[in-house]
Every structure is written in structure tokens, then in C-alpha cells.
Chains A and B, each alone.
Chain A
Amino acid sequence: MSQEVKIISKRFDDPKAATLDGYLASGGFQALEKALTMAPEAIIDEVKKSNLRGRGGAGFPTGMKWSFVPKQSERPKYVLCNADESEPGTCKDRLILQYDPFSLIEGMIIAGKAIDSHQGYVFIRGEYRYLFDIMERAINEAYRAGYLGKNIRGSGLDFDLYAHSGAGAYECGEESALMESLEGKRGIPRLKPPFPAISGLYGGPTVINNMETLATVPHIIVGGGEWYANLGVPKNGGTRLFCLSGHVARPGVYELPLGVPFPRLLEVGGGVANGKKLKAVVPGGSSTPMFTAEEAMGLNMDYDSIAKAGSFLGSGGVVILDENTCMVKFALRIMQFYRHESCGWCVPCREGTNWLHLALGRFHAGGGREGDVDLLREVSENILGRTFCPLGDAAAMPTLSILKRFRQEFLDHLAGKPCSCGVSGRPALATH
């Protein structure tokens, strides 16, 4: 039944893999042994060849990101793992942390060798405390066995790694805000450029990657870039973890090759729950523009296909909405989130998310006014592209996509027609 291709998730069923012995028994640290004999450029070339792209959201080619780090630097260089998994609909990194923490350690040491960095940090969201504990234990075990610290396994390579806990802030998943937080400050984004590869943590050249991205690196080093690239489709190498949630029969995290047709992904999840009809799909976390059922059924799940269709593969959080979902309510809940998480630094985001939340709330409660649909669109368009970081866009993009694709539903609300929730009246959000 399962059409999964298990690479990143190959140890998820092995309870021993979270210990060093278990990890070694399942082929762990073979990539490091190999990488220790490779030149830094050769490692970067292999990752480039693999067509591995960032699994956190933006989908930037990982090898290219690494190659931007200058060889010579007066300041120390850093490798950061972004495990601040907070994008609604996304729940994959926690499985890697839980079942395969050493693959991350191994990936980060290899990244360190590739860019000549001797210090890494794993930034884990504060809510994931049990995973922070697992990571800390794994790191301590790696130190004791000589896989971290000075002169790793007698190779002459030095690499230190520590787990760092956040304390609740979606914004810290944005790379520059994460660095501010790691420096003990409020998680406010930095103006870019300079990009982290030139000036990141403590002003040093920094590579920052999503946890799944870094944990994939050892598999690429062992299997080869070409092997990995061929698992996916051109320019979209390998497999990724898709987090299926919402109205799907078997929600879960499934590993499938990039480019998998959406209908097949849905089938792996058992189809829409309770035999209902599909209405809409969030392709890659709450910030990505949504698709109608019809659009979604024609999609291939890779970065370029989804971009061509006007959205993003994002963080792999695929949310399924059935025919009874009220899109006004859905838009409102998304905006409640972004309003709460806006760091307040940029006016368009801070004010825009607040006004959009108020207007959507009024609308959903039955107090919508003529012209409100256009007002929502205008405010969203005025946020788009006008903020330091992508959080503003993340709030505006799904809203615009819902307004465009489900405009009639908004107009029906205005006309006082019963909402597609199928419930008489309009159920309020739980909201406080």
C-alpha cells in the first residue's frame, strides 16, 4: 500500500536509532568517514549535484547556499540548524529530532567541514522540550565518543555543537530573527543584504538550513549526489517529508519523491476523510497561497511545478480541506495567527495583520459591509513586498488566494446565506 520512499525517514521505525550504538548499527557516521577524506569543494559539489533544496520554506538550493560562504574570514563561521518548526501545518522536523537526532549531528559536522566552520547550534522551538532533551543527550553522547569536539575521530577536524532552546515565537523561524534570538535579543528580523552567508551570527559568515535539509546531507554523501537527484525530478532532487493534515483519512508524515502528483499524495493519506469531496488544499504550510480542488488535482508536488501554479512547496505542510469548510473562517484563523506572531517591527505587517484580522472577524460574524472584499484585498496587497521579512507576505498571500478563488463564498456571507460549514449561523472561532 505504502508508496513511500524512505530515506530521511528510514530510521523512524527503529527505536534504537536515537542512541549512538543504534545509529552506528544502521549505517550512521559512514557519511562523515567519507566526508573527512573529501575536500570542502568536493562536498559542496556533491550537494549541488544532488539538487537538494531547502526544506524549510524558500526552497533555495543548498549547495549553492553553502558556496556563498567566503573561504577566508576574520570572524568565525557558523552552521545553524533551524528547528524552530512553527509554520502551521508542519510537523516533520520533530520526527527527525525524536527518531534520528544523530543524522542531524552528522549533517552539521559535514556542513562545518564544507564551509570551514567549527561551531554549530541547533535552534529548537521552546515548546519541543522533550525533543530538546533528546538532542542534548545525542550531542553529549557524540562528544563522549569523539564525534564532536576537537580532532574528531583523529581526523584533525574540530567541530562543536550545542542545542539552543527558543521560548515561543514563530518569527524566530525567519533566519535573521533566529540569529537575533540566538544572540539573546528579541527576534526581530535584520535588513538584508548582507545575507547570512556573508554576515550572520555574531557578524560571522553563517550557513543556516532547515533541520530536514541538514539531516538529508549524510544520505547524499553516502549515496552520491546523482543518486539523490535522480530520486526526484529535474532541479528538485530527492524525497521530502510531506505532512498531511486536516480532512484527510489518514493524516501523517509521509516521505515521497519530489514531483509526486498531488492525487497520489492524497491517496497515500487515504483520500479525503469520511468520503467527502475535496474543496481546497494548502500546499506547503499556512503561508502558501491555496489551491482549489480542481487546481490541486493537476499539481505535481515539487518546487518548480507549484511555483508555476502560483504558490510554494514551502515547509511540506499539506492541509486538506473538505467541501464543508468555511473559507471565511479559514482565512480568519490564518490571520489570527499572523496577527499574533507579527513581531511589530514593520508597520505594514503589524498594522496590516491587525486590520485584516478585525475586518475578517467582522465579516465572519455577519457584519461584513459592501466593499469589504475589496478592502481585504487592498490591505493585503499593501503588505505584500513591503516588509523586512516574509512574515508580512505570509499573511497576505494566503488571504489573497482565498479572496480570489473563493470570492463567491465571501459574497454569500454578505448576502446572509448560510455558510458552507453546514451549521446554521456562523460559528465563531474558539478565540479566547
Chain B
Amino acid sequence: MSVFSQATQERFQTLLSHYPVKRSALVPMLLFAQDELGYLPPEAIREVGELVGASELAVREVIGYYSMLRLEPAGKYHVQVCTNISCMLRGGDDIYRHCKERLGIGHKEVAADGVFSLEEVECIGACSWAPALQVNYDFHQELTPEKVDEILRDYRKKAAAR
């Protein structure tokens, strides 16, 4: 039995067909696996490993290298605030502190209700629209503390609606 949905399994098969070596599909497969499950539990690691012909240890070694891959669940909405130079010069530190206060959590922590998690991240390539953050994969740019409040409110509403 697979831990993945039919759609994700099909996506894996398509990916595997793109490379002369199965192992090449490993990193994107892990990311897509995480997108579906929220993190990488042992059964997902084993299944992905079998698909690319790598041992569980080898897969874990790869997971440990990439900053986006995680072994523990994050919040439903993972707030990633950039504080690197271009954001810092335009108040990125304040935006990060503001998020910490509003969410009541710190770096790589998950709120008790599981709706939000927070991470201070390195440059996300939004330098000319700084300060910026990402919620999951969505970019929010040219931020002010007021704008952050709005953004967080919208995601909270979305979480409640489900």
C-alpha cells in the first residue's frame, strides 16, 4: 500500500521517466511527497527510497542537506520571513519580530492549534520587493506590519473555513 495519493504516485512515475538514472528524481520527489503529507514520515521515506533504489539511510542523508525538507510536521501555513540583507535594509527584522509576536511562536516552531508555523529564512529572491515573506509557496512582498496582520488574518480565515 502506498502512502501517497494516486495523483502523486503518477507524478512520481512521470518524474522517474525524465532521467537516465532513477536516483535523479529523489530531491523533487521528496519535496512533492512533503507537499502532500506536510512532512516526511518514515513510511514516505521508505517508499520514495524504494522507488529510486536508495536505502533509507541514503534518503535520510539527502533530506538532512536540504533546508526545505522536514521530518516533523509544520503548521498548515508555514510563514517564512526573509531577513537577509535586502530585506533587512527595509525592515525585515521588524517584520520577523512582528510575526513572532502575532503568532506567539519562534523560529521553526508550530502554534498549538497547528494553523501556523514560523521560520526565519535566507534570501527568497524578492530583494527588489523587500521586505518579503512566503506562506507555503506564496510570496507576499513590500510588507508593513499592518500588511502582515492582514495576510495572517486571511490565512486564519481560510483555515477556519475548511
Chain A residue nearest to B127 (CB atoms) is A245
Is there an interface contact between B85 and A330, defined as CB atoms closer than 8 Å?
yes
In-complex Cβ contact of B62 among A91, A121, A185 (8 A): A185
Q: Kindly state the separation between the CA atoms of A129 and B18 in the bound complex, as whole angstroms.
A: 18
B85 to nearest A CB, angstroms?
5
Q: Kindly state the separation between the CA atoms of A334 and B26 in the bound complex, as whole angstroms.
A: 31
B120 to nearest A CB, angstroms?
6
Is there an interface contact between A430 and B65, defined as CB atoms closer than 8 Å?
no
Is there an interface contact between B122 and A247, defined as CB atoms closer than 8 Å?
no
B67 within 8 A of A: yes
Is there an interface contact between A94 and B69, defined as CB atoms closer than 8 Å?
no
Which residues of chain B from 61 to 103 have any CB-CB distance to chain A below 8 Å in the complex?
A: 61-62, 64-69, 81, 83-86, 88-90, 92-93, 96-97
B21 / chain A contacts, CB cutoff of 8 Å: 183-184, 202
Residue count of chain A within 8 Å CB distance of chain B: 59
A128 within 8 A of B: yes
B68 / chain A contacts, CB cutoff of 8 Å: 126-127, 167-168
Chain A residue nearest to B88 (CB atoms) is A333
B126 to nearest A CB, angstroms?
6
Is there an interface contact between A165 and B31, defined as CB atoms closer than 8 Å?
yes
A153 within 8 A of B: no
In-complex Cβ contact of A430 among B31, B52, B92, B134 (8 A): B92
B152 within 8 A of A: no
Is there an interface contact between A429 and B86, defined as CB atoms closer than 8 Å?
no
A244 / chain B contacts, CB cutoff of 8 Å: 128
Is there an interface contact between B65 and A343, defined as CB atoms closer than 8 Å?
yes
Interface size class of B (residues with CB under 8 A): 35 or more
Chain A residue nearest to B31 (CB atoms) is A167
In-complex Cβ contact of A337 among B52, B81, B84 (8 A): B84
A251 within 8 A of B: yes
Is there an interface contact between A187 and B93, defined as CB atoms closer than 8 Å?
no
B25 within 8 A of A: yes
A341 within 8 A of B: yes
Q: Kindly state the separation between the CA atoms of A182 and B27 in the bound complex, as whole angstroms.
A: 8
Chain B residue nearest to A171 (CB atoms) is B65
A235 within 8 A of B: no
In-complex Cβ contact of A245 among B66, B96, B128, B139 (8 A): B128
Q: Kindly state the separation between the CA atoms of A68 and B65 in the bound complex, as whole angstroms.
A: 32
Given A181-B27, A282-B85, the answer on whether A170 and B122 have CB atoms closer than 8 Å is yes
A106 to nearest B CB, angstroms?
20
Is there an interface contact between B85 and A319, defined as CB atoms closer than 8 Å?
yes
B66 / chain A contacts, CB cutoff of 8 Å: 126, 166-169, 187
Is there an interface contact between B89 and A245, defined as CB atoms closer than 8 Å?
yes
Chain A residue nearest to B119 (CB atoms) is A432
Which residues of chain B from 2 to 45 have any CB-CB distance to chain A below 8 Å in the complex?
A: 18, 20-21, 23-28, 30-31
| Interface segment, one of A82-90, A223-231, A296-304 | A82-90
Is there an interface contact between A184 and B125, defined as CB atoms closer than 8 Å?
no
Is there an interface contact between B84 and A333, defined as CB atoms closer than 8 Å?
yes
A186 within 8 A of B: yes
In-complex Cβ contact of A87 among B90, B92, B123 (8 A): B123
B130 within 8 A of A: yes
B28 to nearest A CB, angstroms?
4
Is there an interface contact between A90 and B62, defined as CB atoms closer than 8 Å?
no
Is there an interface contact between B125 and A85, defined as CB atoms closer than 8 Å?
yes
Q: Kindly state the separation between the CA atoms of A126 and B62 in the bound complex, as whole angstroms.
A: 15
Q: Kindly state the separation between the CA atoms of A247 and B52 in the bound complex, as whole angstroms.
A: 47
Q: Kindly state the separation between the CA atoms of A195 and B131 in the bound complex, as whole angstroms.
A: 38
Given A88-B84, A167-B66, A247-B89, the answer on whether A182 and B24 have CB atoms closer than 8 Å is yes
26 examples of A-B residue contacts, CB within 8 angstroms: A87-B123, A88-B86, A130-B137, A164-B18, A164-B28, A165-B28, A165-B31, A167-B31, A169-B66, A169-B67, A186-B61, A186-B62, A243-B128, A245-B90, A245-B127, A247-B90, A251-B90, A251-B128, A251-B130, A252-B128, A286-B123, A319-B127, A337-B85, A337-B122, A432-B106, A432-B120
**Interfacial residues, chain A to chain B (CB-CB below 8 A):** 76, 85-91, 93-94, 121, 125-130, 162, 164-170, 181-187, 202, 243-247, 251-253, 282, 286, 317, 319, 321, 325, 330, 333-334, 337, 340-341, 343, 427, 429-432
Q: Which 9 A-B pairs have the closest CB atoms?
A: A168-B68, A184-B26, A184-B23, A168-B67, A167-B66, A245-B86, A430-B93, A129-B137, A432-B107
With A88-B86, A184-B52 given, can you name 17 additional A-B contacts, CB distance below 8 Å? A86-B125, A90-B123, A129-B137, A130-B138, A162-B18, A164-B24, A167-B31, A182-B24, A244-B128, A245-B90, A245-B128, A245-B130, A246-B130, A286-B85, A337-B85, A430-B92, A431-B120
